[in-house]
Structure 1
Amino acid sequence: MTTADGSHRAQGWTSGVRQRLGLGRLLPLGGPADGAWISERAAVGVLRRAVAGPGPGPVIMELRIAVADAGTAPAPQVPPPPSGLPPGPLRIEATVAATAHQPLPAAAAALRSALVTAAARRLGLVVDEVDVQVAALLDSEPEQAEPPPAEVRPAEPEDAAGRAAAGVTGVAALTRILGASVHTGDGHVQVELATEGAHRALDVTRAVRAAVSGAVDGHPSVAVLVTAVTDGPGPYVPPGG
């Protein structure tokens, strides 16, 4: 192996680690029976876009999502992806900048309501708490900038499970940030994918689980990990197609 080959491999390994770390926490979608998770990065992107827009209101500087209760959580009914958080209510922590033109308690309450609504309607996250902290007071109304859409590098479906998942309405593409897009084990399949923003992520993952379980011999248990949510339709396009 040449020095150049070693350098390229090292760069590829480093890039892969950065991609994995960039996903953030793997948050449960729905409840213990739903067998679905979504990356914190994907969920935060959707929530930021949902609350960004014209008009007055706090501007989100930082948004974090974690399990709300550190106590005993119900066990998932299917094996979670590596580092997947247990099912249970979630807590959103928003750090914002605001102006004194709008009463801060009212602005914070409106933002809490918008985040909870977006989490439920667009994703299917169960949010129990929203903590809004004002970290900066601005002299003038800030410009609400909508975050850029998610970038997705599609992976080609390579087996029955992948083809079944990719064919479900609302699936933008299979992805492979944590390795292969489809992991198959003893009686269990894990699928990694991106969903379209026009469809609620939880509804898409439920349909994927049913499709994959029906397409694979033995009807295995199925877990789905959503790594990105796109702004619109994004069917798989083969390289060069």
Structure 2
Amino acid sequence: MTVGSWERAVREQVGLGRLLPLGAAEDGAWIAERAAAGALRRAAAGVREARVTGLRVGPAEDAVAAGGEAGSDGSGSGAQSADGAGNADGAAAGVGPAPVSALPYGELRIAAECDAAADRPMTATAEALREALLRGAEERLGLRVAAADIHVTGLLETPPTAAEPGPPAQGTGTATDPGTSTSTGTGTATGTATGTSTDTRPSTETRTGTDARTGADARTGTDTRTSTGAPAGTGAPAAAAAPQVAGVLDGGVLRDGDHAEVRVVVDSAYRALDVALAVRARTSAATVTVLVTDIR
């Protein structure tokens, strides 16, 4: 890859926004925050008593404002697993440099703002939403999330249906209105109560499974839906197509000497971390990092 093409790729990567670490440091995988937020919104859509209006994910030790989320689209529920054990030549590739704008590895915190049904206690709604987000982060993505803060900022007269994830948040910064209601994770919520609902949940990883729709084992890489070139919408140049792995919809490999950075668009039916591990295992390079740019 030429210097000019690599610089263009870096500019495109910066356009993806903040990148969140997937799994552990040795996994060498990241995901665009906007892609993760979209998947978490879909996970939260099952809580009919709440409608998410803002969602951010950041380092656990930092205070994360929920109102400045980058939008994402797509639909889907549940996640299949892809196996990432071993690579094409039987040796594990090393983890290369982190992508531009990537957060360092460590636990994360979700901050979500929502409107809640007026006919149900806010604390119960906040707890249900927190559970859905933590479960989604683990089962759909593979994020290591230490806590989730839920802020109830408005009331719903009629709960939305499960198919309605709610409109994406607009603008930046915290969207909390001082005059609105906020639910706490403990105690009794009232019309003027403020606070957050926070809890911890250990992360687990499942790295085996098969493609239920094709019957192909994820190890074989026989997913024929993988296309060539760079991930759709990124405009990044690619020296080669991403490895054919179940769960990859689109992708490309950017090479810089002995290092390869693989950018992929992941099917929402698959767990993002498992797909990233399978991609790393099938990429031939001294060091490999994987970046999930979108989930559809």
Question: Is the structural similarity TM-score above 0.5?
Answer: yes
The corresponding residue for 2:48 is 56
**Native 8 Å contact 1:182 1:192 kept in 2:** yes
**Native 8 Å contact 1:93 1:130 kept in 2:** yes
Q: Which runs of 5+ in 2 are unaligned?
A: 1-7, 63-93, 168-230
The corresponding residue for 1:172 is 249
Superposed CA offset, 1:66-87 (max 9, x none):
11125xxxxx953110011001
Q: Highest relative contact order (Cα 8 Å, sep 6+), 1 or 2?
A: 2
Superposed CA offset, 1:125-152 (max 9, x none):
010010000111233334552479xx94
Superposed CA offset, 1:77-136 (max 9, x none):
531100110011111000000122111111111111110111111110010010000111
TM-score, length-scaled by structure 1:
0.71
**Native 8 Å contact 2:243 2:283 kept in 1:** no
Structure 1 distance, partners of 2:237, 2:276, is 17
> What residue identity is the alignment partner of 2:256?
G
Cα 1:168–1:140, aligned 2, differ >3 Å: closer, same or farther?
Answer: closer
The corresponding residue for 2:22 is 29
The corresponding residue for 1:73 is none
Structure 1 distance, partners of 2:238, 2:99, is 20
Cα 1:98–1:115, aligned 2, differ >3 Å: closer, same or farther?
Answer: same
Structure 2 distance, partners of 1:46, 1:90, is 16
Structure 2 distance, partners of 1:78, 1:147, is 38
The alignment partner of 1:33 has SS state of helix
Superposed CA offset, 1:20-73 (max 9, x none):
54x3310000010010000011011111112214x6311000110011125xxx
Q: Which runs of 5+ in 1 are unaligned?
A: 1-12, 71-75, 175-180, 214-218, 231-241
RMSD, aligned α-carbons: 2.9
Cα 1:157–1:228, aligned 2, differ >3 Å: closer, same or farther?
Answer: same
Structure 2 distance, partners of 1:147, 1:20, is 27
The alignment partner of 1:212 has SS state of coil
Structure 2 distance, partners of 1:220, 1:31, is 19
**Native 8 Å contact 1:193 1:224 kept in 2:** yes
How many residues align? The count is 193
The corresponding residue for 1:140 is 158
Structure 2 distance, partners of 1:139, 1:158, is 49
**Native 8 Å contact 2:117 2:159 kept in 1:** yes
Q: Does 1:115 pair with 2:115?
A: no
> What residue identity is the alignment partner of 1:109?
E
**Native 8 Å contact 1:171 1:196 kept in 2:** yes
The alignment partner of 1:83 has SS state of coil
The corresponding residue for 2:290 is 224
The corresponding residue for 1:105 is 123
**Native 8 Å contact 1:25 1:39 kept in 2:** yes
Higher strand share: 1
TM-score, length-scaled by structure 2:
0.59
Measure how far apart 1:203 and its partner are. 0.6
Structure 2 distance, partners of 1:157, 1:24, is 18
Cα 1:101–1:65, aligned 2, differ >3 Å: closer, same or farther?
Answer: same
Higher helix share: 1
Superposed CA offset, 1:154-184 (max 9, x none):
889964xx34x3411111101xxxxxx4322
**Native 8 Å contact 1:49 1:147 kept in 2:** no
The corresponding residue for 2:194 is none
